[in-house]
Amino acid sequence: MVSTYRVAVLGARGVGKSAIVRQFLYNEFSDVCVPTTARRLYLPAVVMNGHVHDLQILDFPPISAFPVNTLQEWADACCRGLRSVHAYILVYDICCFDSFEYVKTIRQQILETRVIGTSETPIIIVGNKRDLQHGRVIPRWNVSHLVRKTWKCGYVECSAKYNWHILLLFSELLKSVGCARCKHVHAALRFQGALRRNRCAIM
């Protein structure tokens, strides 16, 4: 049986969220920053050890605020589908304090405006540009402790440029949305190991 998960990727301009998605899907990276101006939908199928997981990855342009209701969501073409996803990936640049503040604001708005009574929607905070850590503006431990202990969210640092921890991010994503086959085994090892020949494909 194929499991389907809808995932929203959000972040301020220039944080590299689209680069993360493209590195995951196509194993490519460009130093040229092309701003995301419209919602983009990617439909990869991840096959791990004979089990298929369909992902619907929605890459959103920077939004000024999370839509407070369905009417507002569908009135803005850039926000369509944002309130109905199974998980959120919120990306910030570890070298840009404002981008972390953006993530903090969007996370709070998600918690305040999602439909009351629905199951809790996983949120993963992602610190991109780990390859530029000499320019880090907030100590890693401080962010990790805040996100994991206070916000109760997942936290991953990665480098879209060097494809570092990109697989870890998406394996953590599968684990957070309740992938039964990812819960009881170290997710990163399952995902990376699955990429060997005849064991995994991203289609």
Instruction: Tell me, yes or no, whether 109 lies in a domain.
Output: yes
Instruction: Tell me, yes or no, whether 157 lies in a domain.
Output: yes
Instruction: Tell me, yes or no, whether 198 lies in a domain.
Output: no
Instruction: Tell me, yes or no, whether 202 lies in a domain.
Output: no
Write the pLDDT tens digit of every residue in 114-128.
Answer: 754 455 789 999 999
Over the range 124-152, which residues count as b (16 or more CB within 10 Å of their CB) and which as e? bbbbbbbeeeeebeeeeeebeebbeeebe
Instruction: Tell me, yes or no, whether 73 lies in a domain.
Output: yes
* Domain count along the chain: 1
Domain with residue 124: its CATH number is 3.40.50.300
What residue numbers bound the domain in which 108 lies?
4-190
Write the pLDDT tens digit of every residue in 23-76.
Answer: 999 999 999 988 999 999 999 988 765 678 899 999 999 999 999 999 999 999
Q: Which of 6-15, 42-51, 87-96 has the lowest mean pLDDT?
A: 42-51
